[in-house]
Structure formats: C-alpha cells, structure tokens
Amino acid sequence: MYKYVLKSVLFLINPEIVHRRTIALGEFMGKCKFVRIILSDIFAHTEPNISQSLFGMKFRSPIGLAAGFDYEARLTEILPSLGFGFGTVGTLTNHAYNGNSDPMSGRLPKSRSLLVNKGFKNLGIEATLKKLRSKQILYPIGMSIGKTNSLDIKTQEEAVKDIIETFRETEQSGVNFAYYELNISCPNLVGNVEFYNPDHLNQLLQSLNEITLTHPVFVKMPISKTNEEIDSMMDVIIQYPFIKAVIIGNLQQNRDDHSLYPDEVAKFKKGNFSGIPCQERSNELIRRVYERHGAAIKIIGCGGVFTAADAYHKIRLGASLIQLITGLIFEGPQLVSDINRGLTRLLRADGYNSISDAIGVDA
C-alpha cells in the first residue's frame, strides 16, 4: 500500500513537510504502549540467526536507522516496533542549528536517491539530552556528534573544542544511550574545517582520548575520498582503542556518478545524494577496510540498502551491522521487517548459522 499507493501521493508534497508529519506521527505512536505491541507483533519478530552481541550490547537485528533522520530524538520509542535493532539520534552539535537554506531535501525517484542538504540541523545537544531523559530506551541508541555548523568556527582548534564540549555534555548527561557516532564526513557544512587530513583527524582523536568515554565510538566515514585517503584515515583511527567501528559511509558528492540521472540532478544546485548513488562506493570501501583492518575494527555498512540482498551483500563484504534511511522512504515502513526475514532466509540458504559466519566471506 505504501510503495504503490501512498508513496505516489507523498512524493507530490514538499519533503520537509512530509518528514515533519511523519516524525510527529512516529513520536505519537511511540508513546502508546498498545500501538507498540501491535506493531511489534507485525514487524519486530526476528530469528536468532540475525541477532548479535557486539560492543557489550545486544542487537536483535543488524539493521539500524542512520543519523540524519531522527535529528530531534523523537523516534526512539517506535523504531524497535518496526524491527530496527538499533538507531542513531542526530547528528547533534554543541549549538542548535536550523538547517541550511532551501532546498534542505529533495527526491530523485529515477535515481532512487534523496538530495540531502540539512547541514546538521538539530536542537543542540542540551535540548536533545533533555528530551531523551523523558523517553523509554527500548533498544541501543547512538548519539551522533559533529561540529557546530557555523562560520564562527574558523580553525581546527576551535572545531575540536566545540566537538569535545558536546562529548563532555553527553557523557555527563545520565541518558541511557549505547554508543557514540563521530560524524567527520558531512559534506554540507560551511567553512574550511575538515578532519580528512590525517594530522587533523589525529588531533581530534587525541583530544577525545583525553576524556573518559564510557561508551564505544563509531566514526562516520566519507565515500568521496580516494582509496589512499581512506587508508590514511584508517591508519590513524585504528591507533585508538576507544573507536570500535567505522561507518561506511556518508553521502555521494559526485554529481556525475553513473547511477544519477542528470535531469534529476539538474533540479538541485546544491546538496549531496543518498541511496543508490552511494551503494557501489560504499561496498568497495567496506571490502577494502575489511581486508586491511577486519581483525582490528568492526564495520557498519551504510549506503543504498533497499533489500535484504543489499544488506547481505554488505555483510558478506565485511559489515557486521547495517544502517539505512533512503530505502525506508522509498520502500515503506515494512522494509526493515522484510530485510530481517530475508536475511534469515539468505543465511540459511548459504548454510550459515549466524551473521558472524557470513561476515567478510566475499572480501
């Protein structure tokens, strides 16, 4: 009903309006225990062969919500009922940000992609933590943290200080979250500060290492860099034991990517792209990082996951967990349940008893 009827109507409406109303509905439903029970009976059943224990926490499903959708921390109570095994709030910053100028989002139906240009739109860390204190935490949630999107932050040192302050406040909040994501790869921020340079990245991670973090850190990686640049970043990352995973990866910046339809791209003068345009490069980098560092660090695959086969391919290339957003918008709220069931079938068909048996077999 969603994919063939409702989506065609929703795709005629401004995507920001649809997003706000969807979030509001999800938050409302999440507050009702009866609704959660009904939805869980329909969507949330999972088999033992897709559950995992990683980083000291239990993931009933390997499928999580990526950062960038629930940036106001409103969906943490409803998402487990749809079959998600974990989910990320944010990306959150030290100071609130209302978002970049329009368009902040857009749809590319033929490309099976979304235009993304929000630039860390969020309520700020203080307001978000206050909201989370009043919510039930029903599955592992992560806090994605990045640099405040402001031209007032002019230097690497100022950016590092800004990020560290956000980590400190989150650590001291008492909120029952499970992990951090360090988002160093958003291409929609203002200014010249970046953490792709190994020296800049090392400066940030050294500063993080100096504070006591009681939760594992996952680093959100770019897919727009060369293999050699990714190798240099990984050489820095694996030096820090508090980093337990890398997320591969973020948005597609290449407007000439072969998976993008030029007529759709031409409608948007700024922003970058999610979904299918990220799939190929994400898979290439998952394989590369797993081959080089699979014994030292976990990989979370993100980019172009629309089916169980898409998720399974990333797992076989080296991913232990999977994140998505765009597939949910194109396929509908049943997608995660479909993927969970599909993964169970695919594992059994290949003779694997668990996801851990399949991780990296194609790397």
Nearest to 141 by CA among 235, 69, 230: 69
Strand, coil or helix: 141: strand
Q: Is 102 part of a structural domain of the chain? A: yes
Distance CA 359, CA 80 (A): 24
Distance CA 230, CA 234 (A): 6
Amino acid identity of residue 117, one-letter, is N
136 pLDDT more than 90: no
Q: Is 86 part of a structural domain of the chain? A: yes
Per-residue burial over 278-287, b if 16 or more Cβ lie within 10 Å, else e, is bbbbbbbbbb
Q: What is the pLDDT of residue 327?
A: 97
Q: Is 318 part of a structural domain of the chain? A: yes
User: Within a 13 Å sphere around the CA of 20, how many CA atoms are in the beta-carbon half?
Assistant: 8
Domain count, the chain: 1
Distance CA 48, CA 135 (A): 27
| DSSP one-letter string for 213-279 | --S-EEEEE-SSS-HHHHHHHHHHHTT-TTEEEEEE---B--TT-TTS-HHHHTT-SS-EE-SHHHH
Q: What is the pLDDT of residue 67?
A: 97
- Mean pLDDT (whole number) for 132-140: 90
Confidence grade of residue 3 (pLDDT, cut at 50, 70, 90): confident
CA 316, 319, 322, 327 torsion-angle sign? negative
Confidence grade of residue 2 (pLDDT, cut at 50, 70, 90): confident
4 pLDDT more than 90: no
Q: Is 167 part of a structural domain of the chain? A: yes
What mean pLDDT, rounded, does the chain reach? Answer: 95
Q: CA geometry: angle at 86 spanning 2 and 23, to 5°?
A: 45
pLDDT tens-digit readout, 190-226: 888 999 999 999 999 999 999 989 999 999 999 999 9
CATH number, position 313: 3.20.20.70
Domain that holds residue 67: 2-358
Percent pLDDT > 70 in the chain is 100
33 pLDDT more than 90: yes
Q: What is the pLDDT of residue 229?
A: 97
pLDDT tens-digit readout, 224-271: 999 999 999 999 999 999 999 999 999 999 999 999 999 999 999 999
pTM listed for this prediction: 0.96
Q: CA geometry: angle at 222 spanning 50 and 342, to 5°?
A: 20
Q: Is 363 part of a structural domain of the chain? A: no
pLDDT tens-digit readout, 274-320: 999 999 999 999 999 999 999 999 999 999 999 999 999 999 999 99
